[in-house]
Structure 1
Amino acid sequence: MATTWIKRTFHGGIHPAENKHLSSLAEVRVAALPKQVVLPLSSGNGPALKPLVEVGDRVKTGQLIASCSKGFSANLHASISGQVIALEERPLVHPSGLNVASIVITSDGQDTPYQHPAYPLWQEATDEQLLEMIQQAGLVGLGGAGFPTSVKINGAYQQGIKTLIINAAECEPYITADDLLIQTQAKALLDGIAILQRLLKPQAILLGIEDNKPEALAALETALSEHPLKAALEIGVLPTRYPSGGEKQLIQLLTGQEVPSGKIPLDLGVLCHNVGTIYALNAAVTLGQPLIQRLVTVTGQAVSQPGNYWVRLGTPIQDLLDEAGIKETSSKKAQRLIVGGPMMGFTLDSSDYSITKSVNCLLLPTEKELPLPGVEQPCIRCGQCELACPAQLLPQQLYFYSANQAYEQAADQQLFDCIECGACAWVCPSEIPLVQYYRHAKAELRQMQAEAIKAEQAKQRFEARNARLEQEKLDREAKRLARAEAAARMAAAKKAAAEKEATETEASQQTSQQTSQATASKAQATQAPKAVANNTALLKQLKTAKAAASVAVRKAEKTLSNLEVNPDATPEQMNKQREMIDKAKEQLAKAEAKLAEANSLQETTQ
């Protein structure tokens, strides 16, 4: 174990009145279990979570009720047991003051814990199991930024780190949550550091704490003397100076390294975590307890019982204020309600909000204690803001660009390197709310960047659509040409087949005709002798018939001649004989005709 008093410094910084004694002298209290909690599904810094419960569902303490598969968001768990009575928009504790979707749960008064699946002891667990436990627990940075812890640790695990830094500086005036956490939970804090040492295997582990926390430092040294970390952890005691707890300023104080503009500590092989985050990590890994409560400082001269309270997430702020007590005398009446400290906090318009993971302090100052800012005056170019700026920026130039809506020029002046510590506004004699201008400019730039990204995405979608339509057109034309070519080939094939078929048919017909002719000729040749023989016999018959007819004609003519010389012959007999002669001649003519035809056929056959 080594405790080193740091002599390094950083540019700028201020020494506002600390006023930590108001809350640091009281013991840590546990706030009463709320009757109702309001758990927002968005932190204002990342995508909204997806609810896993519906109205009417009964839930137990620690049960997962909303999750996000990707992006910079952390799981959300029920902080009490009871019934979900609403999924509706409620105001979010955020500078924007916007309403966001929230889960409202009424308490059943039992605070029944949810039984999570058992994990092995962290000493025996694999790295993947440790990362899974951290992710499931819904941890975020409890120093005020609210960045998901699993995202930071996963990045460090994949990239590897050289130095692990534990931020116990708590430089913001009034806030003492980390101070009292160290005093009361030093061993649990060291156990959480040991888990990260096992997981990330850093070459060095440094803890930075301001010298205005002697009790916390003593508690750390006592716990460390009997802890396995005593040979690995080095405590750096920092001179009290705001904002020594800023991440980049703390790295510079402890290591002498400066994080370049536009870079993050991980680029230097450094990972920083707040002590509250480390304590919650230890509870998640060793006890299986997700993030359902946090230590909140309630302070200010208008508070009757200032101190630090363990508060369930989603607890109405008014409930916590009622428990701490508010002075209502004219000299002690609160003039405003500030979330966070006087430097980086923001004022709420009412107490109708609920405690979220990023709320580390409720400050109710009196008018005498923390006067309201005066009327904004023109900048006199005194340069005090530049001297106070720990990020070594030119606050007056950022102010002029931001006030005149020249946001891109402000970005060129490293606007996003501003940590919004408020040191510039604190020293400004013209009482210009510089940080508010910077926050507004950042929001506008982020909106412009988001719109530019959307425009570029829309352009890419438009171009992709046009390319797709053009490709579809080309594909259709190619298909049409292919169909036309196929049809042409088919038509040519059909024509060729038809021509072939016609040729084959013609050839077949010619062959058939030739065959028929040959057959006929053969038949004729076969039948010719028979025809000749038959015709010869017919000729004989016809000649005989002709001869008979000729004889009949001569007999009839001779009979008629005899009648003509016979005096007894009558005219009827003679007429009858003449008719017989005519018939005999007809028979003879027919016989002669048939004989002539037979003779002609005989000649043709031969």
Structure 2
Amino acid sequence: MLKTFSIGGVHPHENKLSAHQPIITADVPSKAVILLGQHIGAPAKAIVSKGDVVKVGTVIAEANGFVSAAIHSSVSGKVAKVDSIIDASGYPKPAIFIDVEGDEWEESIDRSKDLVKECILTPEEIIKKITAAGIVGLGGACFPTQVKLMPPPGSKAECVIINAVECEPYLTADHQLMLEHAEEIMVGVNLIMKAVKVNKAYIGIENNKPDAIKLMTKVAADYTGISIVPLKVQYPQGGEKQLIDAVISRQVPSGALPIATGAIVQNVGTAYAIYEAVQKNKPLFERIITVTGKSVKKPSNFLARIGTPMQQLIDACGGLPEDTGKIIGGGPMMGKALVNAEVPMAKGSSGILIMNDKEAKRGAAKSCIRCAKCVGACPMGLEPYLLSTLANKGDFERMERENIMDCIECGSCQFTCPAQLPLLDYCRLGKAKVGAMIRSRQVKK
């Protein structure tokens, strides 16, 4: 029997329209807009100014705190300005604007396709290179990777879990990455194991990717301590806490960090980025992104530079369909609608989903019928109907007592609600308000 997590979950239509589409190297943009806040934590601090000349891989912003990450130029050319731009959230955010001239890379980057397996670096040296390369979690949360690889005092890693689930409908970037770069991923996993000083790693892959499971199992046979774990198809299995539960049958306590279970979780794309950073001296300035949708002429997987306008990638798939209702950054469950198609790609940009008018239209919300489907679907064991009502009434103190901060914003509740209530919207609102309350209390201390 295939493993899965123990509480809640749903099974949306998969719609993996771009599955098995080879990774296409996207054209370098004529102008790149590189956001300074591409990760959880403090935005990076720009160290370039108007007129500065940069190459591909040049550091253009340094980490601005413990939980932060460096930013590198994805293009070569001249800095036009440091200004603000509307990002995927719809708010103006600081960014570095670069006019592209040619495609000159930093000489320290190894651009060969040769596989480099051996690594004589110490764990501390590996983490130092990961930090310098600006690696963040590529599954969506964008947590600075070096922080995750350095557990707090009193915590100890026992194993590494690689998230190769890709449970979001439509998205196929991680699937195709495994099919084309399995060896590099295994080396990356080995590097993570060495960095956190463990001898066991598990790679969780949902059973709707049998070709990836077969290939990764074959390649892993040559690497000591790495096991492939086929998983039942169940959303949101890609959630960190759900994946730990599915793979090693341990639950993260409410309010605790995943390291409390002895596991350190990294996305499969992050493992590949770590391979490139440590073995090839290549910073994180490009990533694989899926562009898809039922009306898109050619759903595709691209290797695209950070800072590329979303519109450029949409054009490479045949342009914006006439029946477009929404452009979603990410997948349909956790992604958010973009205000326009000129939003620049960031490190966390896993997909661009173009929804047609019919898909994008929400049904009219009706009265709650007390069916408790949202409760059964919640993978965190919360009561979304109650949390939604509390948010609507502004009772954020009660929301905190009801553990709203445990919500992972997966949308399972809203997906399963027969009354079509905007449960996720209210939970996001309440979580943001409660989070602000908690931070305010901490500042006063």
Would you call these one fold, judging by a TM-score over 0.5?
yes
Q: Which is bigger in relative contact order (C-alpha 8 A, separation at least 6)?
A: 2
When residues 126 and 345 of structure 1 are mapped into structure 2, their CA distance, relative to the original with a 3 A threshold, is same
Q: Which one-letter code corresponds to 1:223 in the other structure?
A: V
Please name the residue that 1:31 is paired with.
Answer: 26
2:117 maps to 1:124: no
Residue of structure 2 aligned with 1:164, choices 160, 165, 175: 160
Task: Please report how far the alpha carbon of residue 114 of structure 1 lies from its aligned counterpart in structure 2 after TM superposition.
Answer: 1.3
2:350 maps to 1:360: yes
Please name the residue that 1:260 is paired with.
Answer: 253
Please name the residue that 1:566 is paired with.
Answer: none
Task: Please report how far the alpha carbon of residue 121 of structure 1 lies from its aligned counterpart in structure 2 after TM superposition.
Answer: 9.1
Structure with more of its chain in helix, by fraction: 1
Please name the residue that 2:331 is paired with.
Answer: 341
User: Could you tell me how far apart the structure 2 residues matched to 1:335 and 1:233 are?
Assistant: 43
TM-score relative to the length of structure 2: 0.95
Task: Please report how far the alpha carbon of residue 371 of structure 1 lies from its aligned counterpart in structure 2 after TM superposition.
Answer: 4.3
Task: Please report how far the alpha carbon of residue 443 of structure 1 lies from its aligned counterpart in structure 2 after TM superposition.
Answer: 1.4
Please name the residue that 1:75 is paired with.
Answer: 70
**Do the aligned residues in 1 keep the contact of 2:391 with 2:427 (CA within 8 Å)?**
yes
Please name the residue that 2:85 is paired with.
Answer: 90
2:394 maps to 1:405: yes
2:206 maps to 1:221: no
When residues 444 and 250 of structure 1 are mapped into structure 2, their CA distance, relative to the original with a 3 A threshold, is same
**Do the aligned residues in 2 keep the contact of 1:171 with 1:240 (CA within 8 Å)?**
yes
TM-score relative to the length of structure 1: 0.70
Please name the residue that 2:129 is paired with.
Answer: 133
Q: For 1:90, what is the secondary structure of its paired residue?
A: strand
Q: Which one-letter code corresponds to 2:202 in the other structure?
A: L
2:109 maps to 1:112: no
2:141 maps to 1:148: no
Q: Which one-letter code corresponds to 1:134 in the other structure?
A: I
How many residue pairs are counted as aligned between the two chains?
440
**Do the aligned residues in 1 keep the contact of 2:20 with 2:176 (CA within 8 Å)?**
no
2:283 maps to 1:290: yes
2:175 maps to 1:179: yes
Q: For 2:168, what is the secondary structure of its paired residue?
A: coil
Indicate the RMSD between aligned Cα atoms, in angstroms.
1.9
- Structure label with greater radius of gyration: 1
Please name the residue that 2:311 is paired with.
Answer: 318
2:17 maps to 1:43: no
Please name the residue that 2:302 is paired with.
Answer: 309
Q: Counterparts in 2 of 1:559-578, with a 5 A limit?
A: none
Q: For 2:349, what is the secondary structure of its paired residue?
A: coil
CA deviations 1:333-383 (Å, max 9, x no partner) are: 221100111111111121121000111000002234x24211222222211
Task: Please report how far the alpha carbon of residue 440 of structure 1 lies from its aligned counterpart in structure 2 after TM superposition.
Answer: 1.1
User: Could you tell me how far apart the structure 1 residues matched to 2:105 and 2:65 are?
Assistant: 27
Task: Please report how far the alpha carbon of residue 159 of structure 1 lies from its aligned counterpart in structure 2 after TM superposition.
Answer: 3.9
Task: Please report how far the alpha carbon of residue 277 of structure 1 lies from its aligned counterpart in structure 2 after TM superposition.
Answer: 0.4
Please name the residue that 2:410 is paired with.
Answer: 421
**Do the aligned residues in 2 keep the contact of 1:156 with 1:271 (CA within 8 Å)?**
no
User: Could you tell me how far apart the structure 2 residues matched to 1:275 and 1:176 are?
Assistant: 12
User: Could you tell me how far apart the structure 2 residues matched to 1:52 and 1:121 are?
Assistant: 34
When residues 379 and 327 of structure 1 are mapped into structure 2, their CA distance, relative to the original with a 3 A threshold, is same
Q: Which one-letter code corresponds to 1:135 in the other structure?
A: T
When residues 60 and 157 of structure 1 are mapped into structure 2, their CA distance, relative to the original with a 3 A threshold, is farther
Please name the residue that 1:476 is paired with.
Answer: none
Which deviates further from its counterpart, 168-177 or 231-240?
A: 231-240
User: Could you tell me how far apart the structure 2 residues matched to 1:18 and 1:134 are?
Assistant: 33
**Do the aligned residues in 2 keep the contact of 1:156 with 1:200 (CA within 8 Å)?**
no
2:59 maps to 1:64: yes
Please name the residue that 1:236 is paired with.
Answer: 229
Task: Please report how far the alpha carbon of residue 441 of structure 1 lies from its aligned counterpart in structure 2 after TM superposition.
Answer: 1.1
User: Could you tell me how far apart the structure 2 residues matched to 1:294 and 1:157 are?
Assistant: 33
When residues 212 and 157 of structure 1 are mapped into structure 2, their CA distance, relative to the original with a 3 A threshold, is farther
User: Could you tell me how far apart the structure 1 residues matched to 2:4 and 2:80 are?
Assistant: 54
User: Could you tell me how far apart the structure 2 residues matched to 1:36 and 1:326 are?
Assistant: 19
Task: Please report how far the alpha carbon of residue 273 of structure 1 lies from its aligned counterpart in structure 2 after TM superposition.
Answer: 0.5
User: Could you tell me how far apart the structure 1 residues matched to 2:195 and 2:320 are?
Assistant: 48
Q: Which one-letter code corresponds to 1:113 in the other structure?
A: W
Q: Counterparts in 2 of 1:461-540, with a 5 A limit?
A: none
**Do the aligned residues in 2 keep the contact of 1:56 with 1:84 (CA within 8 Å)?**
yes
User: Could you tell me how far apart the structure 2 residues matched to 1:27 and 1:261 are?
Assistant: 41
When residues 44 and 381 of structure 1 are mapped into structure 2, their CA distance, relative to the original with a 3 A threshold, is farther
Task: Please report how far the alpha carbon of residue 117 of structure 1 lies from its aligned counterpart in structure 2 after TM superposition.
Answer: 9.2
Q: For 2:290, what is the secondary structure of its paired residue?
A: strand
User: Could you tell me how far apart the structure 1 residues matched to 2:241 and 2:315 are?
Assistant: 37
CA deviations 1:573-600 (Å, max 9, x no partner) are: xxxxxxxxxxxxxxxxxxxxxxxxxxxx
Task: Please report how far the alpha carbon of residue 431 of structure 1 lies from its aligned counterpart in structure 2 after TM superposition.
Answer: 1.1
User: Could you tell me how far apart the structure 1 residues matched to 2:305 and 2:289 are?
Assistant: 10
Q: Counterparts in 2 of 1:436-475, with a 5 A limit?
A: 436-454=425-443, 456=444
User: Could you tell me how far apart the structure 2 residues matched to 1:327 and 1:135 are?
Assistant: 37
Residue identity over aligned pairs, in percent, reads 36
User: Could you tell me how far apart the structure 2 residues matched to 1:143 and 1:199 are?
Assistant: 20
**Structure 1 unaligned blocks of 5 or more:** 458-606
Q: Which one-letter code corresponds to 1:365 in the other structure?
A: M
User: Could you tell me how far apart the structure 1 residues matched to 2:248 and 2:39 are?
Assistant: 32
User: Could you tell me how far apart the structure 2 residues matched to 1:407 and 1:38 are?
Assistant: 37
